[in-house]
Amino acid sequence: MITSKNVLLATAFVCLSLLGVALYMQHGLDMKPCPLCVMQRYAFAAIALICLTSAKLPRAALRAGAGIGLLAALTGAGIAGWHLWVKAHPEISCGVDPLETALNKFPSAELLPFLFKANGFCSTDYAPILGLSIPMWALVWFAIFSIGLGWVAFKPAK
């Protein structure tokens, strides 16, 4: 049976797995993350933390936590959409990016630079995976998480 807690735990597991894939692509395949990639990593990490925390809460708080997770997923979807727009218009992504400088000064970027340090360009075209670009895959996952978290947050009480 699909329960709210199972959806939250599965969402957290998939988010953490996606962060693992991002680390493999960065360090194993030498694909440098751009500022928008790092912002999407923050969104995946936030969703995972929110879901793990919410799964341990009573029913009403669990639904509120799922609502907060839904906001994080929608934010991530917006960032992924913005990333796709930048990739479609590469002329706007050149030179030093002030977003990169700001992101790299976050305490989390200094504490966990292997995960949250941006040192790539948003317009870099990497080979597609199963026909989709990396930000497009992120958008797909954020949409899936939005549907699941929306179901948990807004499903009618029994």
pLDDT at 135: 93
Q: Which of 35, 14, 36, 5 is nearest to 136 (CA)?
A: 36
SS3 123: coil
Domains by residue range for the chain, with CATH: 4-154 (1.20.1550.10)
pLDDT at 158: 66
| Mean pLDDT of successive 10-residue stretches along the chain, which has 158 residues | 91 97 92 90 97 91 94 97 87 66 78 80 81 94 97 84
Evaluate if pTM is beyond 0.85.
yes
C-alpha to C-alpha distance for 70 and 86, rounded to whole angstroms:
24
Q: Give the Cα separation of 142 and 103 in Å (integer).
A: 21
Coil, helix or strand for 117? coil
Q: Is 64 helix (H, G, I), strand (E, B) or coil?
A: helix
C-alpha–C-alpha distance, residues 22 and 62, integer Å: 28
